[in-house]
Amino acid sequence: MLPETAPFPAEQIATLNRIISGTSAEQRTWLSGFLAGFQAANAPQPTGAAPPARRAPLTILFATESGNAEALADTARKAAGKLGFAARVLDMADTTPAQVAGVQNVLVIASTWGEGDPPQRAIDFHAALMADDAPRLDGVRYAVLALGDRAYAKFCETGRLFDERFAALGATRVAERIECDLDYEAPAGAWIDATLGTLQAELGEPEAGAVIHVDFARSPAEVAAWSRSRPFEAEVTEHIRLSGSRSTSDTWHVELSLEGAGIAYEPGDSLGFVPMNDSALVDAVLDATGLADNEPLRARLLEQFDITTLTGSEPRPDGWQVIDVLEAARQPLTEAQLLARLRPLAPRYYSIASSRKAIGDQAHLLVAAVRHEAHGRARSGVASVDVAERRKVGDRLKVFLKPNTHFRLPNDPERPVIMIGPGTGVAPFRAFMQERDAVGARGRNWLVFGHRNYTHDFLYQLDWQDLLKRGVLTRLDVAFSRDQPEKRYVQHTLWDARRELHAWVQDGAAIYVCGDANAMAKDVHTTLQQILGEAALDALRREGRYLRDVY
């Protein structure tokens, strides 16, 4: 709270205190960063400011799976550079805790995956840090920025554990940890600026001119880049249901024109898609809260808010969504009360199933409509059903590039690859094969695909057959789970082919896994451990020859 001595009239102090008392920790962090930046941006520019005498070292250590923490690390590095820090960025995948011991200033930026797990590329660092023989971190000054998703029970678990462990090992926390939900950009940016300001003040090195510099002005390259807040509107040029009419799943091939967008994607990248909510669900939410005649609110709920995920402290029987809580309460709400319960609508990501070298300024996506029933109500995945049911050729999808530099074809075109991609997990491998075909890469390619029924669910069957015929695809194994009495999955296929798999790995093959994280990736991992041995699989992961993109 502002003290009475704050440089404001008493009336304004009361108003500000009223506002501040109603804010969350996250909002206060954002506000402090915003005000600091505002001040810096409006301060008179120093003329001939002396260069800093000594540049304080700063290490930005990130743990990422899908690149968000990595991108934030880069943002932090740029902000720190402007403040005069000598900043470097380290990926936990390439770092040991021993390398952190003795480092003065560390910003840790870490996401959480699985069910409260560290990103897979950070598991060695995480394990070493948690081990009994972890090095002491006395003298290390640090702060943690955690990324997560409030829909998960263990929200921001990895960041929380890193924060606690750094402190337990003797490091000094210089700023409270921030835990960011999917709409992390603004709070994370403000936290970075505020934390750098704190670090700098503590180091007693205020530079001439602005103490904190928030970079509101973006470079031309960044302005040209499409993002979740500024997506490209890509025209749908094909919209084809790949699942057969009698299939129990509903999977769509979508072609988008990227003409004029300058989106230079690589095989392995995804597109972010900014969806729209189901208008029937929006109406149900408005009805349940007595806000049915509020048209402007209806428009905002359609496009801006997550109207399914429960993220607050309301009671949450398994499978409940926002509408269940609202209908159970049947309580009129004001617009502000309703919006306070909803988080911003997050984009969804879809692996790009094509190579620009093969198809030019387009991108292909493979989207499986997510539908299930819970508590007597049919539920539809926001984005996937938006694409499958409500979009058609000629419509526009709001998209932006989500690069994945950790899921790339080998640099060596001769290196064999083994691609394990059941269901929509096959999408990036279509991009891989188009790319290898287009550049004439001679390495052998083995695809392991799986789904429910051969007749109805063999996604991109003609593509694979053509690639096989032309010798681009060396080997194709399939597992259709429902075509025989006992369930058969890709891991069973791998086990049956274990001798050949061994031989391919001996020949230098890289193994890729894409698709379902909950069951498939774990079962495949266990089977690969059984075939190759745990240590050998770990060694492949460290060499960048066992890569996963699972969701």
Ligand X SMILES: Cc1cc2nc3c(=O)[nH]c(=O)nc-3n(C[C@H](O)[C@H](O)[C@H](O)COP(=O)(O)OP(=O)(O)OC[C@H]3O[C@@H](n4cnc5c(N)ncnc54)[C@H](O)[C@@H]3O)c2cc1C
Ligand Y SMILES: Cc1cc2nc3c(=O)[nH]c(=O)nc-3n(C[C@H](O)[C@H](O)[C@H](O)COP(=O)(O)O)c2cc1C
Give the binding site for ligand Y (CB under 6 A).
Answer: 64-69, 111-116, 119, 147-149, 152, 154-157, 517, 551
Binding positions for ligand X, 396-425, rule CB under 6 A: 424
* Residue 31 binds ligand X (CB under 6 A): no
The answer for residues whose C-beta is within 8 angstroms of residue 337's C-beta and 6 or more apart is none
CA 33 to mean position of chain CA atoms: 24
156 binds, among ligand X, ligand Y, none (CB under 5 to 8 A by kind): ligand Y
Q: Which is nearer to ligand X, 379 or 444 (CB)?
A: 379
Indicate the burial class of 475 (C-beta count within 10 angstroms; 0-12, 13-18, 19 or more). Answer: middle
Residue of the chain from 228, 253, 343, 348 that contacts ligand X (CB under 6 A): 348
Strand pairing class (270-274; 396-402): antiparallel
* 429 makes contact with ligand X (CB under 6 A): no
Could you identify the residue written with the tokens 């924060």? 163
Tell me the closest approach of the beta carbon of residue 50 to ligand Y, in angstroms.
Answer: 38
- Residue 445, binding choice from ligand X, ligand Y, none, Cβ under 5 to 8 Å by partner class: none
66 binds ligand X (CB under 6 A): yes
Query: According to the binding rule CB under 6 A, does residue 171 interact with ligand X?
Result: no
Q: Is 530 helix (H, G, I), strand (E, B) or coil?
A: helix
263 binds, among ligand Y, ligand X, none (CB under 5 to 8 A by kind): none
Question: What number of chain residues touch ligand X (CB under 6 A)?
Answer: 23
Nearer to ligand Y among residue 346 and residue 385 (C-beta): 346
Q: How many CA atoms lie within 13 A of 370 on its CB side?
A: 8
Residue 383 in the binding site for ligand X (CB under 6 A): yes
Integer Cα distance of 104 and 141 in angstroms: 6
Query: Cα–Cα distance between 131 and 218 in angstroms, integer?
Result: 42
Judged by beta carbon, residue 319 or residue 533, the one nearer ligand X is 319
Q: Is 29 in the site for ligand X (CB under 6 A)?
A: no
Interface segment toward ligand X; rule CB under 6 A; list 53-61, 78-86, 365-373, 479-487: 365-373
Q: Does 551 bind ligand X (CB under 6 A)?
A: yes
Which is closer to ligand Y, CB of 154 or CB of 377?
Answer: 154
Q: What are phi and psi of 517, to 5 degrees?
A: -85, -30
Return the structure tokens found at 325: 């809580």
What does the chain come to in residues? 551
- Which does residue 35 touch among ligand Y, ligand X, none (CB within 5 to 8 A, set by kind)? none
241 binds ligand X (CB under 6 A): no
Rounded CA separation 377/40 (Å): 52
Structure-block tokens of residue 167: 């402190």
**Could you give the C-alpha distances from 270 to 74, 317, 405, 450, in angstroms and in order?**
20, 33, 11, 21
CA angle 323, 329, 331 (to 5 degrees): 100
**What angle do helix axes 68-82 and 185-202 make, rounded to 10 degrees?**
40
Q: Which residues contact 239 (CB under 8 A, 6 or more apart)?
A: 252, 253, 254, 255, 391, 392, 393
Residue nearest to ligand Y (CB): 148
Minimum CB–partner distance for residue 289 and ligand X (Å): 20
**Cβ at position 167, least distance to ligand Y in Å:** 20
- The option from ligand X, ligand Y, none interacting with 119 (CB < 5 to 8 A, set by class) reads ligand Y
Is 95 a binding residue for ligand X by CB under 6 A? The answer is: no
Residues 6+ apart with CB under 8 A from 522: none
Question: At closest approach, how far in Å is the CB of 270 from ligand X?
Answer: 5
Distance separating the N- and C-terminal Cα atoms of the chain: 43
Q: Which of 200, 270, 354, 362 binds ligand X (CB under 6 A)?
A: 270
Which of 251, 493 has the CB closer to ligand X? 251
Residues in contact with ligand X by CB under 6 A are 66, 270, 308, 319, 348-351, 366-368, 370, 372, 374, 381-385, 424, 427, 549, 551
